[in-house]
Amino acid sequence: MVRESLIHRKTSETDIRVKLTLGAGKSHVSTGIGFLDHMLDAFAKHGRFALELTCDGDLHIDDHHTVEDCALALGAAFDEALGDRKGVRRFAHAYAPLDEALARVVIDLSGRPSPNIDLGLKREMLGELSCENIPHFFESFAMACRMSLHVDILKGTNDHHRAEAAFKAFALAMRDAVEIVSNEIPSTKGVL
């Protein structure tokens, strides 16, 4: 069963196209923000997702609209690709280190959005990406994907390492959560 989606999100601030396949494949990400591209490439690689994402955003203003709208479009792409979520593992967690940094991500594809993000980033920017927009990315993704998402940095002193460990743990947990493990809706309610 191929689980994929195509999303086109166009506003007065951004024009985003996402093609997602839940399964290994090539990825190409171009948001105009180098550090965000790096994080989404790592997410696709370690999650084993085929991801094409392009964004033409109002970066002459700042990075906020691009980051938020890319997260909303990508979260919506996962939501669409998951369909009724029949057979998915649903719950997953992962830890990922990057040198001294250690991240933990816990996921529930519950259909109920609840982001809880604690990265403890200290720097103002990572490349051209505002550190305040990194937790906002995870929050926006969780809302659009309709999932409970907990992202915590357990240790680490380098903000680049902390952020990248978070994205890698997120990839590993999403890879497990979306895996088909049965032919039933994983809920006592019968719907997710």
3-state secondary structure 64-117: HHHHHHHHHHHHHHHHHHHCCCCCECCEEEEEEEECCEEEEEEEECCCCCEEEE
Separate counts of helices (H) and strands (E) for the chain: 4, 10
User: Over 80: is that where the pLDDT of 95 sits?
Assistant: yes
CATH code of domain 4-177: 3.30.230.40
Domain ranges, ordered by start, for the chain = 4-177
Average pLDDT over residues 101-114: 98
For the chain, give the mean pLDDT.
97
Token pair 């990406």 in the structure block, residue: 129
Confidence of residue 2 (pLDDT cuts 50, 70, 90): confident
Is beta strand 27-30 parallel, antiparallel or unpaired with respect to 114-118?
Answer: unpaired
DSSP 3-state of 38? helix
Would you state the pLDDT for residue 27?
94
Tokens (6 digits) for 32 = 């105009």
Cα–Cα nearest to 5, from 16, 15, 19: 19
Average pLDDT over residues 61-86: 98
Q: How many CA atoms lie within 13 A of 149 on its CB side?
A: 28
Would you state the pLDDT for residue 83?
96
pTM: 0.97
Confidence of residue 25 (pLDDT cuts 50, 70, 90): confident
Per the CB < 8 A criterion, the answer to whether 151 and 100 are in contact is no
Question: H-helix or E-strand containing 9?
Answer: strand 4-10
Average pLDDT over residues 83-107: 98
